[in-house]
Copies of this chain bind each other. A is one copy, B any other.
Amino acid sequence: MPKKKTYHHGDLKNALIKAGVEILAKDGVSGLSLRKVAMKAGVSHAAPYAHFADKQALIAAISTEGFRQLYERINAVAEKYKSQPEKQLIEAAWAYVQFAMDDPDRFKVMFSGVLEKEKEYPDFVAEAQRNFQLVKMIIEANQALGRLRSGASDLVAQSAWGIVHGFIMLLLEGQISHTVLEKMSLRELVEFQLEQIQVK
């Protein structure tokens, strides 16, 4: 743990992203301030401006890193169940739900408009697309098996993603009714959602 107190930090950019994620997990979106992030990284309050144009740029970096990790998780289960596309589908969805619940505030940052002009951050856009491509591949594998309706895979992928995403959003907002949550576990609920779009 070499913490030499040089004038130059050495890896401030990544340190700021990391500090941001931690503050997000502890204090939520409204508790995330540039100054807190800077202090946590052991640097003056204006130092971040050497690496990020403004607060939005830091948020973009945090979101992009989030998408990177999300991709890794989904890709891991996709690899694991390579030979069983149906398993791929449910497990990927479940990984998505778990990712959201592991750090709800980071998830909100990624998907709830905290980042205001995402189009201006190419890395963010690229990483988001990479995730969608992965979902599309899983969908196509299921279509090939006749487990999902045939047709344009991007449309079906959009649906599948939307179903799981909508469920998560309502869950995080506390909009899943009490009676529903009493009847089923989260896992069962996710499976129930996916069953709806499955053929036969």
Contact = CB atoms under 8 A, between A and B. Distances in A.
A119 interface: yes
A108 interface: yes
Nearest to A172: B113
Contacts of A173: 111-113, 118
Interface string A156-180: 0011011111110110111111011
Contact of A163 (B113, B155, B162): B162
Contacts of A159: 163, 167, 192-193, 196
A79 interface: no
Given A113-B172, A159-B192, A197-B196, A177 B164 contact: no
> A165, A176, A180, A197 — which one has the most chain B CB atoms within 10 A of its CB?
A165
Interface in A133-149: 149
A110 B172 CA distance: 12
Interface string A83-123: 00000000000000000000010001001110010110000
A119 B174 CA distance: 8
B183 A152 contact: yes
Number of copies of this protein chain within its complex: 2
A47 interface: no
Interface of A: 28-30, 104, 108, 111-113, 116, 118-119, 128-129, 132, 149, 152, 154-155, 158-159, 161-167, 169-170, 172-177, 179-180, 183-184, 189, 192-193, 196-197
Contact of A154 (B28, B108, B180): B180
Given A28-B116, A108-B113, A111-B169, 20 more contacts: A29-B113, A104-B113, A111-B173, A112-B112, A112-B113, A113-B172, A149-B196, A154-B180, A155-B184, A155-B189, A158-B170, A158-B177, A158-B180, A158-B189, A159-B167, A161-B166, A162-B193, A165-B170, A166-B169, A169-B169
